[in-house]
Amino acid sequence: MEDNARFEEKSFSNGDVYIGEIKAILPHGKGKYIWSDGTVYDGDWEDGKRTGKGVIIWPTGAKYEGEFSGGYLHGNGTFTRSTGCIYRGGWRMNVHHGIGKKEYSNSDSYEGLWREGIHEGCGSYRWSNGNSYIGNWRSGKLEGRGVMKWANSDIFDGFWVNGLRHGSGVHRFADGGLYIGTWSKGLKDGKGTFYPAGCKHPSLKRCSINSNDSGLSLNTEKHMSPKLRVKRSLSVKISGSIRSKSSRQISQRTSSMDAHRSLLEPAGDSICHDSSSTVSQSFDEGRSESSSTRTSVYEREYMQGVLIMERTRKSSESSHKNKRQNKPSVKPVMQSSFMDIFGGCQSYYLKLNLQLGIRYTVGKITPVPAREVRSSDFGERARIRMYFPKEGTQRTPPHYSIDFYWKDYCPMVFRDLREMFNLDAADYMMSICGDCGLRDISSPGKSGSIFYLSQDDRFVIKTLKKSELKVLLNMLPKYYSHVGQYENTLITKFFGIHRITLRGGNKVRFVVMGNMFCTELHIHRSYDLKGSSQGRFTDKDKLNSHATMKDLDLKYEFQMDIKLRESLLNQISLDSKFLESQHIIDYSLLLGLHFRAPENLKALAELPGSMQRQDSLPSEDDDKQGEQLLIPKGLLLVAHEPSFVNTAPGPHIRGNTLRAYSIGNKEVDLLLPGTARLRVQLGVNMPAQAISKVQEDKEEALELFEVYDVVLYMGMIDILQEYNMKKKIEHAYKSMKFDPFTISVTDPKIYAQRFINFLDKKVFPQNT
């Protein structure tokens, strides 16, 4: 017994009883405390608080045996509920924390890392139905790399987000079939390869699963699960005895024993229902695949779980013989392309020089005190010029690129524009000049321009012709005024114009723009719309889900809320009138579609017959053959709540939240069941119904209608083509194309009228 500690039995007025060692007037040492409701603690005390080892039993039958600190379950211990749920492992302040194993009352079990009472880090979960998962967790859900094995022996090794398969992965079916591809929010989405049972599989040791979060190499030859970094077996080390731990000194004292009565039982029997519902799927999606006895290999493409394309290729055994025949052909780059300027290292040097120049310019111009933009800030003479030698100067850093001259056009104007677009200078530099660098993307047009994408997808950088640079500089004063007056403008947002000159005299001009498709949702289809029928279609050999299609490829018309439609067409009219005033022609509306309700994606009218497999499309029930209208239910407009949605400005969005007629002319958010809640702005997150006419019977000309829920993204692009009557007429005579549109585009006013009328009547018609 400690000095000054004595053994006593005390009874309190509230019915509590303490039997044990006491120091001064507080329990200290070994002792037993019995509360009036029957709760009992027997163990170590320090200065009136449970600290050390002990056992506590509640009237419900729940029991904890282990370590305490400052009155809390803290350290290692075993908690048993009357329902049969048992937890053995680490605790912190009455909640599971650290390494632990929990056996739930429904026979589920989890063994791994915990944080503040939830699964966090590496862990293994086994469901009572026979499914199991081992891998990473976050906030109690499957997140990161992990391996799932179902009771039917199917195995998935790949990446997870929010409890769903998301990213690259490999799904091996019980009969030996294999699918390698990508998933999005639990559904196959994108391209992949299916190897039926009996077909020779690729060497999975050479496959790698790509993810922004991890560079792990995939080895699923035997589908070994990722090893938990646990140095001891929980079931052995934690069961039975609990390791000793020195008691902490708790400075806080209590003057009443009644304070201990407030101890509550730890959190309830929390079962991983979310993950259980995720993995309880039998994944019949693969049954039709894996049960196949075919030995061909299939290149497939999915859209939100719906198979939209399938190509058959020979298995690896026969493809080895034709290895030379299957080599991809590389087409030489046109001499007029920008790509021949720097020889074999052109892309690397261009990107590095761009980053050096932008970092220098933004860093130099940002500290300048804010002032009104003057007329002298516009034009080609308003510029910053700097020489960047490899060895560096007093004003420029040394670098690993080649020597170059840098010119930044109208720096004060673009600084003001970036502030007008609510872009932080530091974020702008980090996005473009960060360590991850810029990514090359293929040009969607025939200009031969180089396109780069920032590492976070927010900005697109495009090379300019000299004539385009001249147009942009000439229109910049009016552009500055227009975007300042109309914050909802759909015209491309420009953030900077730059030029790189090598010592040999080669010049490359760049413009930085906002990426219109930097969105929270996947863009399934995109269209470049001009309102023309002349040559406005995509070649069949280039037609796929990633191609930007044209006017004649669009088989839909879109109906939306009356107020949303009015706002959209009004702004398109204002923007077109502005471009008309600047003598600009040949611009487009870039339209992106995100399809909802995948069960309604029966056919995609724009895909040629050779790319469709009728046996892969969902078939209608017999009782639905007479229906002429399928009403999807995947979108919902609700009153705008700033605290529930992301209101941060982006590279494409800047305007206010739109109002919808259907909910009383209030500002609205778009609610996507099971996905997200998004703020509705002009050209961003705009809900609509895409109506596609399907000619069912050509003899009787019977037309049925298919309706899809879609979310629209749009903006006006290609606004740097100035009107030139001489060139247009020469082109018309040379090509012998005298259709009304070709002649009319020599007049910016007529072009604007046709463009507006096309969108008004054909793309966004008035609801009937």
What pairs with residue 79 in β-bridges? Answer: 64, 87
Q: Which residue has the higher pLDDT, 438 or 591?
A: 591
Judge whether residue 399 has pLDDT over 90: no
**Helices 466-485 and 562-581, axial angle in degrees (round to 10):** 130
pLDDT band at 559 (very low <50, low <70, confident <90, very high): very high
pLDDT band at 205 (very low <50, low <70, confident <90, very high): low
Query: What was the pLDDT predicted at 524?
Result: 87
Judge whether residue 616 has pLDDT over 90: no
360 SS3 class:
helix
Query: What was the pLDDT predicted at 10?
Result: 84
* 606: Cβ contacts below 8 Å, ≥ 6 apart: 525, 543, 549, 553, 554, 555
Judge whether residue 496 has pLDDT over 90: yes
Judge whether residue 654 has pLDDT over 80: no
Query: What was the pLDDT predicted at 538?
Result: 81
Q: Which residue has the higher pLDDT, 3 or 208?
A: 3
Query: What was the pLDDT predicted at 537?
Result: 80
For residues 492 and 102, give the distance between their C-alpha atoms in angstroms, rounded to a whole number: 55
Instruction: Tell me how crowded residue 625 is: count the other CB atoms within 10 A of its CB.
Output: 9
Query: What was the pLDDT predicted at 436?
Result: 72
Average pLDDT over residues 303-308: 71
In this predicted model, what pLDDT tens digit does every residue of 34-59 receive, in sequence order? 998 889 999 998 888 899 999 999 99
**Tokens 């090379």 found at:** 463
pLDDT band at 318 (very low <50, low <70, confident <90, very high): very low
Average pLDDT taken over every residue of the chain? 76
Least confident of 227-231, 590-594, 701-705: 227-231
Judge whether residue 610 has pLDDT over 50: no
pLDDT band at 346 (very low <50, low <70, confident <90, very high): low
Q: Hey, what are 309's tokens? A: 């394309």
Judge whether residue 718 has pLDDT over 70: yes
Domains in the chain, CATH or no CATH each: 6-161 (2.20.110.10), 345-515 (3.30.800.10)
In this predicted model, what pLDDT tens digit does every residue of 726-762 receive, in sequence order? 565 555 555 544 444 444 456 788 889 989 999 999 9
Average pLDDT over residues 688-700: 69
For residues 421 and 409, give the distance between their C-alpha atoms in angstroms, rounded to a whole number: 18
Judge whether residue 3 has pLDDT over 90: no
- Give me the phi and psi of 569, to 5 degrees please: -70, -30
pTM exceeding 0.85: no
Q: Which residue has the higher pLDDT, 114 or 202?
A: 114
Query: What was the pLDDT predicted at 176?
Result: 86
Judge whether residue 419 has pLDDT over 80: yes
Q: CA separation (Å) from 636 to 304, 622, 674, 759?
A: 19, 29, 12, 24
User: In 251-400, which ranges are E strands?
Assistant: 297-303, 306-313, 383-388
Query: What was the pLDDT predicted at 571?
Result: 95
For residues 57 and 44, give the distance between their C-alpha atoms in angstroms, rounded to a whole number: 15
Query: What was the pLDDT predicted at 481?
Result: 95
Query: What was the pLDDT predicted at 415?
Result: 92
In this predicted model, what pLDDT tens digit does every residue of 227-272 receive, in sequence order? 333 333 333 333 333 333 333 332 333 333 333 333 444 544 544 5
For residues 103 and 493, give the distance between their C-alpha atoms in angstroms, rounded to a whole number: 56
pLDDT band at 529 (very low <50, low <70, confident <90, very high): very high
What pairs with residue 306 in β-bridges? Answer: 303
Least confident of 77-91, 132-146, 425-439, 564-578: 425-439
Judge whether residue 82 has pLDDT over 50: yes
pLDDT band at 586 (very low <50, low <70, confident <90, very high): confident
Average pLDDT over residues 183-187: 85
Share of the chain above pLDDT 70, in %: 70
Query: What was the pLDDT predicted at 186?
Result: 84
Query: What was the pLDDT predicted at 198?
Result: 80
Average pLDDT over residues 485-493: 92
Q: Which residue has the higher pLDDT, 702 or 448?
A: 448
